[in-house]
């Protein structure tokens, strides 16, 4: 968990403003949910391994007898800090469905908490930027998510980003074709999800060590070693079928093709080419995914910058009726490290350097007049050595400054451009 000094906080808010603006222009509406959810909801089997990282909140008024009677730590907690924004969204929709449109497009931008082992790009408190489409069962929803996400990447100036795409139905179909038992699917996918970290040989060794069907592991090894590439362009049915064993799930293939065609059309044929990449081994660790899944990637970093997928079964756990749902989450902390968007871009920020004996009423009058004209204004007592102060103001994002003497009026101020060389 980190503190942010003013300049970094301003830069983060500028990036968030860009993300919010693009999402809203694409027809999504922002909601807000509490930071805490019921412990039983957070540990209902919907969050995968993230449930193990949830921070619990102890019940109020616990007694010594309560501590003695508890069989495990969760018995002492009735609430927990949210570890993502998807579980709260499912609860929110179940609570407010009657007040929402039949197809609801939501934005959630907020902090979440996980008891991570802190490292570069991983923190115990971090911001997620989610968009979700609830109530739309077909590829239209995924296409909207991907077009909005790619437009956001463009607005942030992050060139070279692309989206890896797969479908959970294609993954389970691949495992079935290779000879894995249905009871082995979840465990096998957990290991295959480590492919980027431990490579093909590591995946095969772990599957054998864990006792998966030997002939199926041998078939997977042969599948790994056949001549192929993930760099299929253009994204389309032929590329998808080429990357998979025989007879892949026809509905899943058709859905991915429709998504790819829609994204390419929205971006223009040339712009759409190369933005989507079919990855037959993309898993996504969350067990609640039921259809298309995706991750935002960039060639400069070995980790994803966001991801998501279809999770049609989750809301039904709260509502009692299944509702189609799909979403995409940007990893804000990782994006911040790559994006060069300046803080307060386009904002006029003025520093008024004044002598200490000027009447406060005069200073506040000048300040108010500049603010009324749309500027951000700070009053600064003029030091003996002005340059270090001007340098610091430039770093903080101030664009102009003026020296203020007693009796000065706005019309007489000499506003000069401010830079670190001023």
What per-residue confidence (pLDDT) applies to 344? 54
- 3 state SS for 206-273: HHHHCCCCHHHHHHHHHHHHCCCCCCCCCCCHHHHHHCCCCCCCHHHHHHHHHHHHHHHHHHCHHHHC
Listed in sequence order, the residues at least 6 apart from 366 whose beta carbon sits closer than 8 Å to its beta carbon are 352, 404, 408, 409, 410, 413
Angle (CA) 353 370 414, round 5°: 50
Residue 409 has pLDDT above 70, yes or no: yes
- Rank 3-17, 94-108, 184-198 by mean pLDDT and report only the highest: 94-108
Given the DSSP bridges, would you call strands 349-354 and 376-381 parallel, antiparallel or unpaired? parallel
Q: What's the predicted TM-score (pTM) here?
A: 0.86
Condensed to tens digits (0 to 9), the pLDDT of residues 108-142 reads: 999 999 988 877 767 899 999 999 999 999 899 99
d(CA 379, CA 366): 10
Residues forming a β-bridge with 209:
none
Provide the pLDDT for residue 286: 66
Mean pLDDT for the stretch of residues 54-69: 88
Query: Lowest-confidence range among 10-14, 149-153, 305-309, 408-412?
Result: 408-412
Distance CA 323, CA 300 (A): 37
CATH number belonging to domain 1-161+298-344: 3.30.930.10
pLDDT confidence of residue 229: 47
| Average pLDDT over the chain, rounded to an integer | 88
| pLDDT at 77 exceeding the cut of 90 | no
- What is the predicted pLDDT for the residue at 314? 86
For the chain, how far is it from start to end, CA to CA, in angstroms?
A: 36
Q: Which of 42-51, 87-96, 328-337 has the lowest mean pLDDT?
A: 42-51
Q: What percent of the chain has pLDDT over 70?
A: 93
- pLDDT of 253: 92
**What mean pLDDT comes out for the span 65-85?**
88
Rounded Cα–Cα distance for residues 232 and 70 (Å)? 54
Residues of the chain by 3-state class (helix, strand, coil), percent to 5: 45, 20, 35
346: confidence class by pLDDT, cuts 50, 70, 90: low
Residue 342 pLDDT greater than 80, yes or no:
no
Q: Say how far apart CA 188 and CA 172 lie, in whole Å.
A: 10
Average confidence (pLDDT) over 323-328: 95
- Could you tell me the maximum CA-CA distance found in the chain, to the nearest angstrom? 90
Residue 332 has pLDDT above 50, yes or no: yes
How does strand 77-81 pair with strand 36-38? Answer: antiparallel
Q: Residue 65: its pLDDT value, please?
A: 87
Give pLDDT tens digits for 34-45: 999 998 888 876
pLDDT over 60 at 272, yes or no: no
Q: Enumerate the domain spans of the chain.
A: 1-161+298-344, 168-275, 349-417
In angstroms, the Cα distances linking 121 to 116, 162, 333 are 11, 19, 7
At 188 the pLDDT is 92
CA dihedral 106, 315, 111, 43 (to 10 degrees): 180
CA distance 122 to 113: 11
Radius of gyration for the alpha carbons in the chain, expressed in angstroms and rounded: 27
Of the pLDDT bands very low, low, confident and very high (cuts 50, 70, 90), residue 231 is: very low
């Amino acid at each position: 968990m980190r503190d942010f000094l003013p300049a970094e906080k301003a830069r983060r808010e500028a990036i968030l403003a860009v993300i919010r603006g693009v999402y809203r222009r694409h027809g999504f509406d922002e909601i807000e949910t509490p930071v805490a959810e019921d412990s039983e909801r957070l540990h209902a089997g919907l969050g995968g391994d993230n449930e193990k990282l949830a921070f619990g909140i102890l019940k109020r008024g616990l007694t010594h007898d309560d501590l003695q009677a508890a069989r495990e730590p969760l018995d002492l907690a009735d609430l927990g800090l949210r570890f993502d924004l998807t579980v709260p969204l499912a609860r929110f929709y179940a609570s407010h469905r009657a007040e929402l449109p039949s197809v609801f497009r939501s934005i959630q931008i907020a902090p979440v908490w996980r008891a991570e082992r802190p490292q570069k790009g991983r923190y115990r408190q971090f911001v997620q930027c989610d968009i979700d489409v609830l109530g739309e069962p077909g590829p239209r929803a995924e296409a909207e998510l991907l077009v909005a996400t790619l437009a956001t990447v463009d607005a942030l100036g992050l060139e070279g980003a692309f989206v890896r795409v797969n479908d959970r139905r294609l993954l389970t179909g691949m495992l079935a074709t290779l000879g894995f038992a249905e009871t082995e699917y979840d465990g096998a996918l957990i290991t295959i999800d480590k492919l980027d970290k431990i490579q093909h040989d590591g995946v095969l060794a772990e599957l054998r060590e864990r006792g998966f069907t030997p002939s199926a592991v041998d078939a997977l090894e042969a599948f790994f070693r056949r001549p192929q590439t993930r760099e299929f362009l253009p994204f389309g049915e032929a590329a998808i079928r080429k990357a998979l064993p025989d007879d892949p799930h026809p509905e899943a293939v058709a859905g991915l093709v429709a998504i790819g065609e829609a994204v390419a059309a929205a971006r223009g044929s040339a712009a759409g080419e190369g933005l989507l990449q079919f990855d037959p081994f993309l898993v996504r660790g969350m067990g609640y995914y039921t259809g298309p899944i995706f991750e935002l990637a960039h060639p400069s970093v070995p980790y994803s910058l966001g991801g998501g997928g279809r999770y049609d079964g989750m809301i039904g756990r709260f509502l009692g009726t299944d509702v189609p749902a799909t979403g995409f989450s940007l990893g804000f902390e990782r994006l911040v490290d790559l994006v060069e968007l300046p803080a307060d871009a386009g904002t006029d920020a003025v520093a008024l350097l004044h002598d200490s004996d000027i009447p406060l009423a005069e200073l506040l009058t000048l300040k108010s007049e500049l603010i009324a004209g749309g500027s951000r204004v700070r009053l600064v007592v003029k030091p003996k050595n002005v340059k270090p102060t001007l340098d610091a103001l430039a770093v903080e994002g101030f664009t102009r400054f003026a020296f203020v003497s007693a009796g000065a009026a706005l019309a007489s101020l000499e506003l000069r451009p401010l830079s670190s060389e001023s």
